[in-house]
Structure 1
Amino acid sequence: MAAHFKQPGDDRGAPARLGGNPRTHLNTRRGGDESYHAPEGNPHAAGLPHRRDAAYIPVVSEPPARRRGHNRRRRDRSFVETDPYDLSGRRSRDPRKRVGRVISVLLFVAGVTLIAAAALTWARNQWQYREQDRINEELASHADVSDNAATPPQVDWEALKAVNDEVVGWLQIPGTTVNFPVYQGPDNEKYLNTSVEDSYSLGGQVFMDYENTPPGMVDGQTLVYGHHLRNGAMFKPIADLADQEAFDAVSTVWYVTEEATYELEPLLLYETDADDADARRLTFGSVEELRSYLTDLLARAEARRPDAAELIAGASNVLTLCTCSYESGDTGRALLVCVPVPAGTDPATSD
């Protein structure tokens, strides 16, 4: 019976004085929730494991006595890698993880390099386009042009020749951005990517075929080339005339030389490829041969005048403007054939 009473120096009786049960008294702490603490001597009441030696098991299973830092852990052969999140393979001795990490780094570096190269290419192209626009704007300042189809360009030939004496003519299509001096080099390569300043240029200059008789409009067909730049500059408006509605909106083409002014009108536009040698036919044995040639082109035309056959019957020479057509890839070509306006005829009302 004495065992149920408090003995001197024994605190176990204190809960009994408060009316509690010493076997179910909660070991509370200040600021804590009593429901989270197990009763003294009864760990099962808090949902703890039945085994007294159960404890937290770390993800990395290394004996506590051997934990001497990260480097020591990697050198210790008894270290067991059980970390499922070691995706980089830095702590693993598995060669597959190390190879995977190397491949990941290489792919990352390659991706960054490609992005940087693309950015540099884009910046370089933008600079080249701006430089091309600058050159064209400076050259355009040497001619006074009007969007009025009845007004031919007034060209300062002396100023143009001071810049480059290979200039042979001036081309303008009122209502479009086509307004350029025309040059003729020793071959058809020089002005492809060379400016009048004799430096590299993305769009080069508008130029006449080197085998044509200068200054143009002398041979049966005078052929003038110009780039169709991706930003819409140079001869892009000519490629756009493959659309019949756009073709019908153009009534006049001016070709001016130092000696003469030629007023022309679009006859037809046809598309071909760079391997079509017949497109570069410049001279003909007779006027009838030229007209037969033009009749064959009319059958292939993407756009044409409604009275094209009548105009061909009276043609003795033509001016053809050639540029790239990207409808069939980079080798496609669009050619706009123009005929001189008969004297005393208004091209805007000749339909």
Structure 2
Amino acid sequence: MKTTPDNEKRAASREQGVSGHKAHRARRIVSNILIVCGVALLLYAAGSWGLAQYNYWKQDQENKKLATYASVPTRESEAPTVDWEGLKAVNGDVVGWLEVPGTTVNYPVYQGEDNTWYLRHSAEGYWTIGGQVFMDYQNTAPGLVDNQTILYGHHLKDGSMFYPLFLLNDQATFDATNTVWYVTEGGAVELEPLMVYYTDPNDQNVRRFQFASDDEFRSYLMGLLGKSVTRRADAETIISGTSHVLTMSTCNYYEGYGRSLLVCVPKSEAQAATVAASV
């Protein structure tokens, strides 16, 4: 069959049509894949958001339930009254109660066999995003027995757990925080902030509990004071008469650090140190 110019044009046109159809089909397939991927990402984001909200809600319910075991007076100069029998019925690991008047910090304190369990477990033993406030497993229960007692707690984005303590990196907020209560079955100790300092999670100097002498302990505190971001104006004087501190550790997200630590001193020791320095 003889090929004519018209036949060649018609053949070329058919080839272009087939090629164009294939290209259109490929674009449509790619477009559909992208739409499916986009929908999947949106569903994943929505699911992640929903799960996060549920986890925060679940943590809030746990906090509210445990809060019923303590009665907090309206005056910050009065310690919370704690139902120890009720708390122990929930979990026998409870060793104390921590309350900072004027903040959301109002929680029981637990002590486990390690420093990991209560990071993500409730008093009843199930997983929660914020776990429980807990004492270092190497501290002597119920706390404030060793030179340094360390409590750990998350700071959550909803402002709960140790979040208010993270805000004490502001000097004005620090100065306005006058009282911290630590209550055990044996009684209540009223404390006050001494300083806040930052460090990294691997700092081995943090977890020191007992010292050979008060002088060694005070030298240790002076070293921490050199790293402080907020502090009492008379911190050196207070340290000179301090034998015990309660340190609260929480996360921060400042580059090069990772931990914020609030060091508190019993008011009785702070007052004695002030009197001794004035003599």
Fold-level match, TM-score > 0.5? yes
2:244 aligned with 1:339, yes or no? Answer: no
The one-letter amino acid of 1:277's match is Q
Tell me, yes or no, if the aligned pair for 2:95 and 2:110 is still in contact at 8 Å: yes
The one-letter amino acid of 1:266's match is P
Distance 1:122 1:252 in 2: 36
Q: Match for residue 154 of structure 1?
A: 81
CA deviations over 1:255-299 (Å, ceiling 9, x no partner): 010012111110000011111111111221211111001001111
CA deviations over 1:2-26 (Å, ceiling 9, x no partner): xxxxxxxxxxxxxxxxxxxxxxxxx
Unaligned runs of 5+ in 2: 1-9, 273-279
The SS at the match of 2:263 is strand
CA deviations over 1:15-55 (Å, ceiling 9, x no partner): xxxxxxxxxxxxxxxxxxxxxxxxxxxxxxxxxxxxxxxxx
The one-letter amino acid of 1:240's match is L
Q: How many angstroms does 1:129 deviate by?
A: 0.5
Unaligned runs of 5+ in 1: 1-62, 64-75, 83-90, 347-351
Q: Match for residue 233 of structure 2?
A: 306
- How do 1:283-322 and structure 2 match up within 5 A? 283-322=210-249
- How do 1:267-286 and structure 2 match up within 5 A? 267-286=194-213
2:119 aligned with 1:192, yes or no? Answer: yes
2:24 aligned with 1:100, yes or no? Answer: no
Distance 2:129 2:193 in 1: 28
CA deviations over 1:309-328 (Å, ceiling 9, x no partner): 01000000110000011233
Q: How many angstroms does 1:99 deviate by?
A: 3.0
- Return the structure number with greater helix share: 2
The one-letter amino acid of 1:253's match is V
Distance 1:223 1:205 in 2: 14
Distance 1:104 1:221 in 2: 62
CA deviations over 1:309-349 (Å, ceiling 9, x no partner): 010000001100000112338x6110000011127959xxx
Distance 1:135 1:168 in 2: 18
The one-letter amino acid of 2:240's match is A
Tell me, yes or no, if the aligned pair for 2:133 and 2:152 is still in contact at 8 Å: yes
The SS at the match of 1:159 is helix
Distance 2:44 2:74 in 1: 42
Q: Match for residue 176 of structure 2?
A: 249
Distance 2:23 2:219 in 1: 74
The SS at the match of 1:232 is coil
Q: Match for residue 5 of structure 2?
A: none
CA deviations over 1:40-71 (Å, ceiling 9, x no partner): xxxxxxxxxxxxxxxxxxxxxxx9xxxxxxxx
- How do 1:196-211 and structure 2 match up within 5 A? 196-211=123-138
- How do 1:23-172 and structure 2 match up within 5 A? 79=14, 93=20, 95-172=22-99
Distance 1:111 1:180 in 2: 43
- Return the structure number with greater strand share: 2
Q: How many angstroms does 1:108 deviate by?
A: 1.2
Tell me, yes or no, if the aligned pair for 1:146 and 1:174 is still in contact at 8 Å: no
TM-score normalized by the length of structure 1: 0.71
Distance 1:291 1:191 in 2: 30
The one-letter amino acid of 2:265's match is V
Which of structures 1 and 2 has the bigger CA Rg?
1
* Matching residue within 167, 189, 192 for 1:265: 192
Distance 1:180 1:273 in 2: 25
CA deviations over 1:57-95 (Å, ceiling 9, x no partner): xxxxxx9xxxxxxxxxxxx9975767xxxxxxxx75554
The percentage of counterpart residues that share the same residue type is 51
TM-score normalized by the length of structure 2: 0.89
Give the number of the structure with larger relative contact order, counting CA–CA contacts within 8 Å between residues 6 or more apart.
Answer: 2
